Structure formats: C-alpha cells, structure tokens
Structure 1
Amino acid sequence: MRTDAKVVHLKAVPEKPASPAGRLPVALISVRDKAAQQLRQALQVLLDNADDSLFEIADRATSNAEQNAFFEAMRDLRMKRRSIERGFLQQIFESFARLNQYEIGKPAEPENLSFDNLTLVQNDELEESVAIDTMVTKVTSRAALPLTHLTTRMNALVSRKLDDKSNPLGPQALCQYFLESCRSLGVEIKVKLIILKLFERYVLADLDQLYAEANQTLIGAGILPELQSAPPRRSQRHAPAATTGGVSSATYGDSASHAEDVGMHEAFGALQSLLSELRGSALPARSIPSDAIPISSGDLMRLLSHMQARTPQLIDDFDLQGQLEQLLHKVSAKSGKSRVVGEVDEDVINLVSMLFEFILDDRTLPDSLKALIGRLQIPLLKVAVLDKSFFSRGSHPARRLLNEIATAAMGWGDQDEAQRDSLYQKIEQVVARLLNDFVDDPGIFSELLADFLAFTGDERRRSELLEQRTRDAEEGRAKAEMARQEVEQVLNERLLGKTLPEVVVRLLQEAWSKVLLLTCLKHGTQSEQWDAALATMDDLIWSVAPHDDPESRERLLKLVPSLLKALREGLVSAAFDPFSTGEFFTQLEALHVQALQQFDQPSAQPAPVAVPPPSAAITGGRFEPSPSKPASEPPAPAMIEVVEEIMLLAPGESREQEPEINLADNDEALTQVDNLRVGSWVEFQEDEEHKLRCKLAAIIKPTGKYIFVNRTGMKVLEKTRMGLAIEFRRDAIRLLNDTLLFDRALESVIDNLRTLKSSNR
C-alpha cells in the first residue's frame, strides 16, 4: 500500500511544451490546475485501493488460472502506476492546450486487427464501450446542469467549439484519458472492467463537485455569472460503508433535482425574455380578444395530439401555427368563448417552430431525410410543452434522439425508393412510433433512444472494421508503390543506357525485380538482405560484361557457383515460375560458358578450344570446363540496349499524371485541403444532379493520397492534395457540419433573436 502524502505540487504535472499554456485565459488555467490536482488525488486513491479490491476478488476466484490473472494484474498495476498517473495528467494538459488552437483534428490511430483475432477484439471492445457508456450516462444524469454550464463558459473563452463530449473535463474525455493511460496494462477484459469500475467509484463520483467548483472559479472571473448552477456537493464516498453518514441519497436527489429544475427554467426564462422584447417589433404582437380565455397546457396537448395523428407525409407546406389557429377557432365556435394559447405555451411553439425552420434549411441533412425529421415537429413540441428543460439540457432523451438521428444521417446519400437501406427504414420506424404512440408520456423517447443507439452502435462497429481494413489495404498499396519505385530506381541506375544480353535484361526486369520488391517490403532498403540482393544483381551484370584480363577469368570462375546459388534461392523465395526459371538458367549458363571460351582463345593461337557444354559440372566451389570434343563457335547472344526507363506497374495500374497546376503555398484551396481532418464528412458535387457524401478515412503520407469512404466504411474516392485543391477551387466540395443538430439550431435561433434585438434598439 502507498503512504505518500496526498498534497501534490502542480509543478510536477507534465505539460505539453509545444502548446504553451500562456495562450489560455488565466481563469481557464486556474480551472485546469485545480481540476488536475483533484483528479490526480482521486486517481492516487484509486491506485492505493486497487490492490485490496483485486486481492478480494482473487480470493473469491473459482480457479487457479483466474486467481493468477488477478495477481498478475495487481503486480502490473503496481509497476506501472507512475506511468498511468503521468499519462492521465499529460492528456488533460494537452487537451487544455489545444483549446485555443484552430485544429481540425488528427488521424485516428489505426488498430492492429487481423482476421484471426477479429471476433475477440470486437467482443472486448463492445464490453469496454458498454462500460464506458454506462459510466458516462451516470455522470451526465446527475451532473448534467453544472457540466453544461461549464462547457458554455469555456466556449466563451476559447476558439474551439466544445460540447459536453469534447470538454476536457467531461466524463467521456476523462474515461478516454484513463483508458489510454492504461493501454500498457496486459490484463484481460474481465480485469479491465473491474479497474474501470474502480475509476468510476474513486474518480468519476466527485465530478459534480469538480464541475461546481470550476463554475464558481469562472463566475468569480466574470464569465457568464447569470448561469446559476447547484452548489458543490461534498462526497462522503471514501468513508466506510457502515459508518457513512450525512444526507441520504434520496434527500440529496430531491435537492439536486430542485436545483436542476431551477436552472432549466432560468434558461427557458432567458429565451422567453428575448421573445417578449421582440414581440410587437421584430416579431408579430399577440392579438388577443379582450374576452379570450387561455387554454390549459393539457388542452393544448390534446389539440397537438389531434394534429399529430394527421401529420402529412410532406411537410414543406405544413404550417403548424396556422393549423393550430384553425383548431382553436373551431373550439371557440363550439364553446362560444374565444380560446387562445397561453403566453408560455405560445413561446414554446414559437421556439420549436424556429428550431425546425433551421433544421429544414440545414444543408447538412440529406433532403430525403429532412421530410422524415420534419414530421417530428409536433412530438418534440409536445415534449417541450411538458418539460421546459428540453431547451437547455443536452442529455434530454428527446433532444438526444434528434441529434443521434441527424448524426447517423450525416453520410446517408439521397437514393431511390428501391435503394433505401436499413438506416432509412430505422428512422421511419422511430418517426412512425412517435406519431402513433406518443401521447403525453416522454418515457417513449428514452426507449426509442436506447433502441436507436443499439442499432447505430452495431452499424458503427461494422463500418469501423471495414474502414480499418480499407486503411490497412491503402497503406499496403502505398508501401508496395513506394517499394516498386525504389526497385525501379535501382534497376534504371544499373541498366539504363547499357547494352546487355537480352536474357539478362529480362531476368532482372521480370524476375529479379520481384525478389527486390519482396526484400524491400519485408526488410527495407537499409537491411543486409537488400544489400545482398543488390550485390547479386551487380555480380550478374558484371558476369556477362566483356572482360579480357586474367584476373577477371579467375574472379568469374569463383563467382559463378555462388551467383547461381544466390539467384536460384532468390527466385524460389519470390515464388517465381519454375519453368521460366529453368529457361533463364539454361541461357545464363550458356552465356557464362561463352565468356570463359573467349578467355581461352588467345589471338596468337587460332586453334579451337574445348567449349564446356551447358551441363558442365560445378565441383569444388569452382566452375571448371569439362574436357570434350572441340565444338563449333556458339552463336553470339542476342543483345539489347536499354533506352527506356523501366516501370514496374501493379495489375491494372497506370502512371497517368494529373495535370500540373502551380498553386502558391498560401493558396486558399490548399489551405482548405490541409485543414481537412481524418473523420471529416464532405459532399462532392459530381455533376448537376449527383452528389457524393463521404468521409475522409485516411491520408496516406508516402503517396499523398486522400482516401474517402462511405457510411459503411467502403472506399468510394481517392484524391491527391492537388486534386482536392482543384475541387475546392471550383466549389465542388462542401464540408458537412458535424456538430450536434439541435445545438446548432438552438444557437442559430438565439443568435437571430439577439441580432433582431440589437437592430431594434
């Protein structure tokens, strides 16, 4: 057990030197340092208690193997706790350092997957993902308000757009930091899940307090003091279970709920005040007869349910407020009294109408899915009438369902009726279920959200696996292409401009190039194997070149056995065609015999010399011509001059170069290309009628290729940097905004209202 003091000096916390902290506002640095200290202390408590927890579980193990796994995990955790602490805090500081950098993103780290371990990896990742989602959901359910307020305040200080997921102190980010810092632990998934549970117990349990204190720090610096959060709660979770005292969980739950309700109504109240200030100027005034009686929210819900049952398939011309006015006229005529919607409910209707105006104009949503999502206007309006936190609580099930549908639809292209796939059908089911079954119980949204997340989770895992295979294949292609270019270079250096026997040129170009390619891919160009393959090629070229000095004859006699052996082994390793190999060696042997014959024919003695037959024996490590009958002079070998550069093309490959375009380094189109991040969704305008939605899956650095995939992870497009710049210059590419749909819509509505307010002053 550790007995270290729990007081930590922040100077010991690692910082990313490349991103100086001075770029952050002072208030944010204070939030970062206080949070880092609290999180580090909580992590130390976790690691202090991990031994006891794992030992207790090991003591209850049902087998020796299971018990040993826990003991090994305990040992591994003790040895690596320093690196875990350091890695966790390092990632927090790096995340804060990036807040004031305009950074589109970075490529996802490729995973080492193989067909043998694919199922195991998928199952382990699924369990890990479920555990993380559960932990994050628990935090957001109890600390949604202070977290949202903290994110809002941080957005007022930094240049990057944050949401609760990307907040460096959000539960999602903290879980990812911890997972990443524990990557070096060689533990099974069962042990990893237990360690994650400890992380939830000792670190995540106090996040509501951390958020509240961070909000107070920013309020003290004058950052959005009008947002009111609940006061920080002091946790007593570290006290022994039998002696834990204080306020009961039920009592705290009631007080926390009350504080949250107050905050939610304040947020809705701020929207109402904006509307009231504009009513009669920028917005139409309420024309209410003097004898008008406002209908109750319950009556409004019944009218909306009546309209919901008659929601048209096409919502382009659907006027919700007009339809509601008609129903109110009928009700008024029937009752004999003028009935109107109450002011609060009318504000809700106006806000939801404005939100859907943005959604139906949003260019990120495919047109065919806009019609489906537009039919959710009445169900979401009913939710907003029932629960005003809909406008301010990011974790609200109805709001999340809308965001998840929009996110899933990001890569969905408009297709014909017959081609509509499972995603479209799933969204249709969600819409139909809400229109048919939702009356006044918002619980249906939680049920549909869970079902939709399960569906999209399965789709996402399948697409990620296919996308990873696509990346692996492209990286393999890039390596092969670079290796072919390397082999081309060494072949051209040795052959271009030379006149050599045709059989040797063919042997090098058709056969030995494959040996070089395989060696380059397996061992690289700095390896002994690569040097040996080049030496064999150089020896072969020398052995068929003309020589007339005695030293060359001696060298050739010594060289030929080892040369033939190296050639044969190399071609066998490259699985070259044995029949062609035999043909090559027969002709090569004849060349060597002829070369030796030329050495043995002095110009002063014209008498013929015995020529070794092709089957001459190799004995004693030396090539010795066997005595035989005088033979006639063999015909001169066919010679060829290499005048064109050798190009090694893969099957179906061509080397057609894109048109050369000279763009300045600071050209806007190149800047747009360089700002693309892996994971960005874009839309290509292929022609007047067809658009292609795809995601940047990888940037292959050796070849400079940008690889795009569709929603299923399948490759659909490949572009160079210059090729993409051309597309940007002709406005054929449009970046798709991947921030949450509802948040964008609400932000747009608030901005519009504030603009109208400023213009009317």
Structure 2
Amino acid sequence: MQRQDNIISFGDSATRKRQISLDAKGRKIVDACRKHVVRTLPQLMSGLFEKLDDAMYELADKSGNDSVQTTYFDAMRELRKERARIDRVFSREVLQKFDRFWETGEAPVNQRTFAELSRDSEMSLLGEDELEDSLAITNMISKSENRYSRELYALGQRFVQLTGDTDEVSEQHNPLAPGVICNAFQEAMRNVEVDLPVKLVIYKLFDKQVMHYIGGLYDELNLVLGKAGIIPKLTPQVRRNPVSPAVSRARREAQADGRAGEDADERSDLQTEVFETLQQLLNLRRGVAPAAGSAVPGRMPIGAGGVPISVPLVETVELLSALSTLQQSNTVMVPLNNEGEGNLRTRLASDLRMLEEGRTHRALGEADNDTIDVISMLFEFILDDHSLPDAMKALLSRLQIPMLKVAIIDKAFFSKKVHPARRLLNNLAQAAIGWNDDGDRSPGGLFGTVESMVKRVLTDFDDDPSIFTVLNDEFNEWWEREQRGADVAEQRTNQVTRGKEQLRAAKAAVTDELNKRLQFQKQLPDAVISLLRDGWKDVLLLNYLRQGPESEEWKESLEIVDKLLWSVAPKKEYAERQELLRNIPELLRNLRERLNAISFDQHKMARLFKELQNCHIACLRGKSLSAGVDTVTDLHISFPDSQLINQSSLLVDDLEPETVAVAIHDKFTEQAESLEIGAWLALFDGEEKKRVKLSWKSDVTDVFVFVNRKGVKALELTVDGLAMHLRDGSAEVLDVTNAPIMDRALGAMLDALKHTGTAAG
C-alpha cells in the first residue's frame, strides 16, 4: 500500500513572490508616479499639523477642568516635538510599500475587518485601548475605500498592466490604497506618548486633512499613467477630488519661484535684466546732464561740456557699512513729502566724506547710485498708495534702508517675486490695508506686530537676507491666526444678517398672502381676524422659515385660511350648509393642531373657538353675521417691523426720511451696484477715517453689510445709501488688488520711467 504523507506543506500553497522586471519606459513611468507621492505626502502632512495645534488649543480651552486642559497642552508639546519623526516614519512606510510592490507585485496590508475586531475583543485578544485604536483606523480605511472606489479601481488596473500581471490588483494590494496610507500613519503614531482620546482626535483630523484629500493624489497618478498610454480611456482625464489647501499653497509657491530647472547662468541673466532695464530708463529720464561744476552728493561732478570728472569711487562694502550705521541709528526716514532721497544722500555724503569745501572728493559707483534712485522711487510709489493708512506708511518707510542694502547685495531683489525681503514687505503692506487707527498700538495688535517686525529688521539685519524669511514665516503664522478669527466673526455676522433677511422675506410673504385674501372681504368676524393676526400669521411664518414657500406645509396652511374664510361666509343654499357641517370638525382640528405647535395661548384659543362656533351656527342657519356676531372692517394684517429701513448708517444718524427716499440713478449708483464682495471702502466722518470691507449683499433688498478687519459688523447700507455716500465724498472705494505692493510699485515705476524717458528723448 502506498504510504500517505500526513504533513501538509504550507509553502507549496502560499503565493510565491515573483520578481517584476520593468522596461526603461515602465521604470520612467513608475519614477514619475513616485515623485508625485514624495512631493504630495509631506504637503498633506503639513496641512494636518497646521490644524493640530489649533485643535489641541481649542479642546484645552473648552475643557472642564485643569487636568484635562493639561492633557491637551502636553499633547500639543509632544506633537511639536515628534513632528519630524512622524513625518519621516509616515513617508518611509508608504514608500517602502510602494517600492516593494514594483519588485514583488505585492503590498500586503494588515487590515482587520470589523467582525475580526469584534471576535478578538470577545476573546480578550485585544485590550480596550488597542481595540479603539484599531476600530478608528479600520473605519477610516473602509470609508476611504468606498469614497475612492472608482479611482482605486482605475489605478489598480493600470498598475496591473504595468507589472504585466494577469490578475487584478485588489484594493488591499494596491501600494497606495487607503489601508497602506492609514497603517503608515498608525505606525508613525505608535510611539507618540499621548492618551487615547487625544490620539482619536488626531486620527479624526488625519481623516479630514489627509484622507479627505488623498483622492487628489489618485487623480494625479491616473492622469500621469493615462497620458503615458497606460489604459488612457479607462477614466475621464479630469480631476474629481478636492486638493488640499496645503498642497495648493505649495504648488503656488513652486510656480512663483520661476523656472527651477534652468541653469545658474540663465537665472543670473533673468535677475539682472530688470535692474538693467531700470538703469537704462533712469538714464533716459535724466536727459540733459547737470550744469558744469554742480555737485550732487554721491554723483560724479560734471565738467565743461557735460563730461564727468573722474574722482575716486566709494567701495560698495564701505557704502553698505555706512548704510548699516544709518539703519542702526534709525534717524533717516522717508517723509510723506517724498524728500527722503535727498536726506539719505546728504547723510551718506557726510558719513563717507564725499564732499570737501563744497567740491566732490569721492563718488558712488554708477550701479550703487542707480540702486539708490530705484529704491527711493519705489518707496515714493508705496507712500503714494491710497490703500495704506498713513501710520502704516510711516512704519513701512523705515524699511527703505534695509531694502536698499538688500538690493545692493542682491540684484535679484528686483526680478524675483518671491525674494524673502519682498515677500515680507508685501505681506506687511497687504495686512495693513484694512487697519483703522483707533489708538490701539498694543504689542498684540496689527500695528504693534508690524512695528515689531520693522524694529527687528532694523536691529538684526546686516548682510544675511535669511532674517527676512524667519520674520516672514513668523508674521504669516500670526496673520493666519488673525484671519481665522476674522473669518469666523465675519461668517457669524453674515449668518445673522442673512437670518434677518430671511425673516423679512418671510414676513413680507405672509402678509402678502393674507392681505391678498382679505382684500375681497368687506367685513369679517372679529374671531377670524384675531385668529389670523394673533396666531395664524406666526404659523405661516414658521412654515415659510422651516419648510419654505414651495413646501406642502406652507400650501396646506394657506388652504386652511381659505377654508376658514369660506366657513364664515353666508350660506344660502342647503348644499353649502351641509358641506360646511361636514368640514367644520376637520377645520377646527387643523386650526388647533397648528396653533398648539406655536404654543398659542390656550385660554385665548378656547374663547376664539367659541366665538367661531357662533359664527358657524349662524351660517348653518343661513343667517347674516351682522346679527349676534362681532365683526370688523379693518382687515389689514402686518408685522410691526416688516418694513425695511431705507437708510442705515453709522456715520449719518440724523438724516430726514425725505432726504433718503428720493432715488437718484447716476454713475455713483452704478458704482455702488457693481461693488463686489471683498471690496474695501474708506469712510470719512470729519477728520476720522475708517476702512470697511463689503462682506455680504442681499439679492432681495439691496442691503450691503460691511465689516472691519476683524470681521465685526461695522456698517449696513442700501444701494441708494452707499451711492449717496460716494456722491457726497464721505465714502471712497479703495483700489485694492491682490497684486503685491512691490509688484505694483515696480510696474508703476517702469511706466513712469518709460513715459518720462520718451519725453526726454
């Protein structure tokens, strides 16, 4: 008899790993996909950590006791300390799975189902904390797999074709499946010392900030593979999923950095091109040379025939040292009368001993002279910008010498839009637009923060521009917190205003519908009018606000009004009286139910129903209501506050109604009507000037709501009211654009130089 071997070999039945061999084209495609992953994952994690601090702080602020508060603050510190490690482990885990897949075709995920978790919990194989942790991850994975099923299917099919496998790649074996992403984050969080409730909050934020936007990565990879010819018609070549704000911001910054792939020589040419153009235009602008013998501080003296006289030049290093001394002394400002360049040149001529006995002894080089001219003109344009408050202009003007030093050291300052010094100046100026000089100069306010940044530049900047990057990052972090608070306040303001607007519209609709039905009635029982005025109009109002004018509840409530009015009309015919008799119970029941829903006074309802009963008895007997029933002829129904005030202003409080009732349609009316959300106004009240932003405009009543920089409601005007302010000069629309102030100043300066240069030519 043949011997049977009772030993089972698991190795024979297990799936044997195979080696995947990609050709050159395949390796190039995989490499392109990997670069997308390497670039996107840190950006998504950056968005997560941006929210974690705020979340921990809010939870600590809302906590009921000191112990819980301490827990959240400790977690905040722990996450800050562990951030770099979490980022590193998370990216490493994902990329290891991705790379292993292109070697073996496998990327196994240790994902247990809900049923397995329940079984392990019942068998005490899992602790309570471990169960909660695993449940949170499993739930996140399941939700993401359902959300991105289409994208994952397309990605899997394309990976199958690349690997040359005959089997489909399941979601669990996709190297970028939600299970891989979530398990990688779980592994990165394994040694972070935070309590379970805190960790669950972190998982929830990871779901919102990473998994909610991971679909954008799937879209990108499908686009890359499709364009490379890997099943190009599998899915439409469009983005379906939202892109993380952190990813969008990183892309904008990368685009703004210009052509990153160009060599150093090309970048150098680009950086000097703008400055050389400015130099040429300055020479054209100067036109005729100064008279012979004239001495302009810092410039070459001019001899007979307009020929410059050769004198020793001041070295650039010496000039920078003199500027640093002026910067530290902080005495040279650009006054608002645009005489700053003369003061600066006079001080430099004195400190560098360029003049002796009224004659030029030394002079600045041509490039240094032109740089001083360009920076001086730039700050003149900045100081002429009407969108900036005067106090903020005075602060920003103190940055002239530091910016001059930066421009002398690095000519890329004029051409590189993302130069750290330019970015700081741009961001400070942009933040200053909505500032109102209300006397608040505290360190924590906008003015105090800008002042602090300016002082730190003046005291800390010597020749290393990295200080601008540090300060810009600090200011942006502070400004983002300010903006978040302002956005929340503005949203609340708009919600309140929108609620009032909806209430006005609802009241108008209710009164319109009721009065439309009452206008054909000569007289009605007092009980009916009391029911409509005191109770039923509120029933209708509630229906309109909750369900809307298209709802069945609204329509049925109006039908009950029609039936009520018909029920108290005289009935001459027997058939009508019989119909009334059949409908009275249902009518009373509908009235009672809806009045009870608004908590109508029960005693009053009983009295009115009793009077209504008398009216019905009279109608059933075919009698006129004038006999034995109190009737009224004033049948108009209204809400006391249903009329929209035509003019509402914080600046003009004593206007007579007649002065605002007359509507004038002119260019100011058209300007008011075309004003867009986000536009800024300057409002003048005597010597006081306030800046407000248009936050919301009604499509129903033409009401405009303006808020201040902090998102608090500052003003409410109608279109006619705003036009009146524009007409009499008490309001002015500020020319505010999203273009950075340095870009606008350079553009304006180039236009001016071209114009004057052409005239000189």
Alignment of 1:333-412 (within 5 A): 338-412=361-435
Matched residue SS, 1:672: helix
Whole-angstrom CA distance in 2 between matches of 1:418 and 1:204: 34
What residue is the counterpart of 1:755 in the other structure? 755
1:415 is displaced (CA, Å) by 2.1
Checking the alignment, whether the CA contact within 8 Å between 1:501 and 1:637 is kept in structure 2 is yes
Query: Does residue 707 in structure 1 map to residue 705 in structure 2?
Result: yes
Whole-angstrom CA distance in 2 between matches of 1:66 and 1:430: 44
CA shift digits 1:103-137 (9 cap, x unpaired): xxxxxxxxxxxxxxxx9999789968xx99xx9xx
Matched residue SS, 1:394: coil
Checking the alignment, whether the CA contact within 8 Å between 1:345 and 1:385 is kept in structure 2 is yes
What residue is the counterpart of 1:304 in the other structure? 323
Q: Which amino acid aligns with 1:557?
A: L
1:441 is displaced (CA, Å) by 1.5
Whole-angstrom CA distance in 2 between matches of 1:124 and 1:69: 9
1:511 is displaced (CA, Å) by 1.1
1:543 is displaced (CA, Å) by 2.8
Query: Does residue 274 in structure 1 map to residue 281 in structure 2?
Result: yes
1:71 is displaced (CA, Å) by 5.6
Query: Does residue 325 in structure 1 map to residue 346 in structure 2?
Result: yes
Gaps of 5+ in 2: 1-30, 42-93, 112-132, 156-200, 218-236, 303-308, 648-656
Query: Does residue 591 in structure 1 map to residue 616 in structure 2?
Result: no
1:574 is displaced (CA, Å) by 2.2
- Shift of the 376–465 alpha-carbon distance from structure 1 to 2, 3 Å rule, reads same
What residue is the counterpart of 1:504 in the other structure? 528
Query: Does residue 522 in structure 1 map to residue 549 in structure 2?
Result: no
Specify which of 634, 644, 650 is matched with residue 642 of structure 1: 634
Checking the alignment, whether the CA contact within 8 Å between 2:371 and 2:404 is kept in structure 1 is yes
- Shift of the 313–712 alpha-carbon distance from structure 1 to 2, 3 Å rule, reads farther
What residue is the counterpart of 1:263 in the other structure? 270
- Shift of the 427–328 alpha-carbon distance from structure 1 to 2, 3 Å rule, reads same
Q: Which amino acid aligns with 1:736?
A: D
Whole-angstrom CA distance in 1 between matches of 2:535 and 2:36: 61
CA shift digits 1:487-527 (9 cap, x unpaired): 01111112235312223212201211010011112222222
Checking the alignment, whether the CA contact within 8 Å between 2:528 and 2:612 is kept in structure 1 is no
Whole-angstrom CA distance in 2 between matches of 1:522 and 1:488: 17
Specify which of 565, 583, 601 is matched with residue 541 of structure 1: 565
- Shift of the 519–353 alpha-carbon distance from structure 1 to 2, 3 Å rule, reads same
Q: Which amino acid aligns with 2:751?
A: D
Q: Which amino acid aligns with 2:311?
A: A
What residue is the counterpart of 1:186 in the other structure? none
- Shift of the 600–68 alpha-carbon distance from structure 1 to 2, 3 Å rule, reads closer
Whole-angstrom CA distance in 1 between matches of 2:672 and 2:148: 43
TM-score (norm 1): 0.64
What residue is the counterpart of 1:696 in the other structure? 694
Q: Which amino acid aligns with 1:648?
A: F
- Shift of the 357–748 alpha-carbon distance from structure 1 to 2, 3 Å rule, reads same
Checking the alignment, whether the CA contact within 8 Å between 1:699 and 1:705 is kept in structure 2 is yes
Matched residue SS, 1:332: coil
Checking the alignment, whether the CA contact within 8 Å between 2:341 and 2:373 is kept in structure 1 is no
What residue is the counterpart of 1:741 in the other structure? 741
1:457 is displaced (CA, Å) by 0.6
Whole-angstrom CA distance in 1 between matches of 2:108 and 2:732: 57
Q: Which amino acid aligns with 1:366?
A: P
Q: Which amino acid aligns with 1:745?
A: A
Whole-angstrom CA distance in 1 between matches of 2:203 and 2:379: 41
- Shift of the 361–60 alpha-carbon distance from structure 1 to 2, 3 Å rule, reads farther
1:465 is displaced (CA, Å) by 1.7
Whole-angstrom CA distance in 2 between matches of 1:637 and 1:121: 70
Q: Which amino acid aligns with 1:288?
A: P
Per mean C-alpha deviation after superposition, the further-off stretch among 409-418 and 652-661 is 652-661
Per mean C-alpha deviation after superposition, the further-off stretch among 734-743 and 748-757 is 734-743
Q: Which amino acid aligns with 1:79?
A: R
1:73 is displaced (CA, Å) by 2.9
Whole-angstrom CA distance in 2 between matches of 1:200 and 1:737: 22
Gaps of 5+ in 1: 1-40, 85-118, 136-177, 184-191, 213-229, 234-254, 604-632
Alignment of 1:125-524 (within 5 A): 181-183=240-242, 233=261, 256-281=263-288, 286-288=299-301, 290=309, 292-312=311-331, 315-316=334-335, 319-332=340-353, 338-416=361-439, 422-496=445-519, 498-524=522-548
Matched residue SS, 1:694: strand
- Shift of the 206–458 alpha-carbon distance from structure 1 to 2, 3 Å rule, reads closer
What residue is the counterpart of 1:237 in the other structure? none
Query: Does residue 69 in structure 1 map to residue 140 in structure 2?
Result: yes
- Shift of the 361–670 alpha-carbon distance from structure 1 to 2, 3 Å rule, reads same
1:375 is displaced (CA, Å) by 1.0
CA shift digits 1:22-77 (9 cap, x unpaired): xxxxxxxxxxxxxxxxxxx9899979x99986999982678364255346535533
Matched residue SS, 2:468: helix
Checking the alignment, whether the CA contact within 8 Å between 1:462 and 1:712 is kept in structure 2 is yes
- Shift of the 451–57 alpha-carbon distance from structure 1 to 2, 3 Å rule, reads farther
Specify which of 721, 724, 729 is matched with residue 719 of structure 2: 721
CA shift digits 1:583-632 (9 cap, x unpaired): 133232133135426755999xxxxxxxxxxxxxxxxxxxxxxxxxxxxx
Checking the alignment, whether the CA contact within 8 Å between 1:58 and 1:67 is kept in structure 2 is no
Q: Which amino acid aligns with 1:591?
A: L
Matched residue SS, 1:309: helix
What residue is the counterpart of 2:79 in the other structure? none
Matched residue SS, 1:733: strand
1:391 is displaced (CA, Å) by 0.8
Whole-angstrom CA distance in 1 between matches of 2:529 and 2:365: 91
Matched residue SS, 1:691: strand
Checking the alignment, whether the CA contact within 8 Å between 1:83 and 1:181 is kept in structure 2 is no
1:405 is displaced (CA, Å) by 0.8
Q: Which amino acid aligns with 1:504?
A: V
Matched residue SS, 1:719: strand
Q: Which amino acid aligns with 1:457?
A: E
Whole-angstrom CA distance in 2 between matches of 1:649 and 1:572: 23
Whole-angstrom CA distance in 1 between matches of 2:352 and 2:332: 26
Q: Which amino acid aligns with 1:307?
A: L
Q: Which amino acid aligns with 1:256?
A: D
Matched residue SS, 2:710: coil
Q: How many residues align?
A: 555
Whole-angstrom CA distance in 1 between matches of 2:255 and 2:441: 49
Checking the alignment, whether the CA contact within 8 Å between 1:695 and 1:710 is kept in structure 2 is yes
Whole-angstrom CA distance in 1 between matches of 2:276 and 2:349: 26
1:384 is displaced (CA, Å) by 1.0
Specify which of 150, 154, 160 is matched with residue 79 of structure 1: 150
What residue is the counterpart of 2:306 in the other structure? none
Identity %: 31
1:394 is displaced (CA, Å) by 0.6
Whole-angstrom CA distance in 2 between matches of 1:641 and 1:692: 52
Matched residue SS, 2:717: strand
RMSD of aligned alpha carbons: 4.6
1:551 is displaced (CA, Å) by 3.3
Matched residue SS, 2:433: helix
Whole-angstrom CA distance in 1 between matches of 2:695 and 2:154: 31
TM-score (norm 2): 0.64
Whole-angstrom CA distance in 2 between matches of 1:674 and 1:736: 17
Matched residue SS, 2:709: coil
Larger RCO, structure (CA 8 Å, separation 6 or more)? 1
